Amino acid sequence: MTRMLEAKEYLKRLLKGNENFYNKDNYEEVDISNNKIESLRENQYPFGVVVSCSDSRITPTIVFNQGLGDLFEIRIAGNVMNEDALGSIEYGVEVGGASIVMVLGHENCGAVKGAIDQFEEKAEFNGSIKYVLKKIEPSVKYVKTHFKEDIYLNTIKVNIKNTLDIIYESPIIKEFIEKKEIILVSALYKSDGKVEVLEVIESNIDNQLINSLKVI
């Protein structure tokens, strides 16, 4: 099986795992035995990288019903992107061998709400928080220009796409895509526990699709 086919199977695995989480009764017990822990002592072989918000309500390994060593997680408020996070993603793919990179945003994101409030001057944040929210501000500006309703939810979705676009522009990630070895996925975690896939980027991407992601 090629790595691209593996990536698509892994996406199905994540969605099936989320279905288990959503339905509750089908949630599979995760192996936390000493043997499992011992098997991961020297090396890790994650099949996926998930970039998500640091929100305590959304833990990728749990919401996708996966186990130890399955997912390489990068968590940062508002699932924004910086050099450290991007370097971690590149490591997960190039060294860890992950076949899928997912940006997972979520409904009722406090960071996005804070960015909107900061932009509208309804709130002022101190310390480093304001710099995180500044990364979301371009999404706020875009949505306020192009949408009249559902500003909050649309900003969440645009912010997810913008993060995915930054990841795609990484030369390392782009090379793996062109070699048909990974796929990029954007997704939204809903408040009821269900994950909705928004976009899937794989090999042979035309300029129109890429440009459609560059919403800013």
3-23+46-213 fold = Beta-carbonic Anhydrase; Chain A (3.40.1050)
Proportion of the chain above pLDDT 70, given as a percent: 92
User: CA 177 to CA 90: how far, in whole Å?
Assistant: 12
Average pLDDT over residues 156-169: 97
Annotated binding-site members: 53, 55, 106, 109
Query: CB 204: neighbour CB atoms within 10 A?
Result: 8
Domain limits of the chain? 3-23+46-213
The pLDDT value recorded for residue 210 is 43
- 137 CB contacts (<8 Å, ≥6 apart)? 115, 118, 119
- C-alpha–C-alpha distance, residues 47 and 37, integer Å: 17
* Six token digits for residue 212: 């459609």
Residue 213 has pLDDT above 90, yes or no: no
pTM for the model: 0.90
Residues in binding site for Zn(2+)? 53, 55, 106, 109
Mean pLDDT for 106-115 is 97
Pairing label, strands 183-189, 100-106 = parallel
Tell me the average pLDDT across 123-131: 91
Q: What does the pLDDT read at residue 25?
A: 85
Residue 14 and residue 212: Cα distance in Å, rounded? 25
pLDDT single digits (tens) 52-88: 999 999 999 999 999 999 999 999 999 999 999 999 9
Nearest to 139 by CA among 108, 160, 120: 160
Higher pLDDT among residues 213 and 37, named by residue: 37
**φ, ψ for residue 98, nearest 5 deg:** -65, 145
The dihedral built from the CA positions of residue 2, 68, 51 and 167, taken in this order, carries a sign that is negative
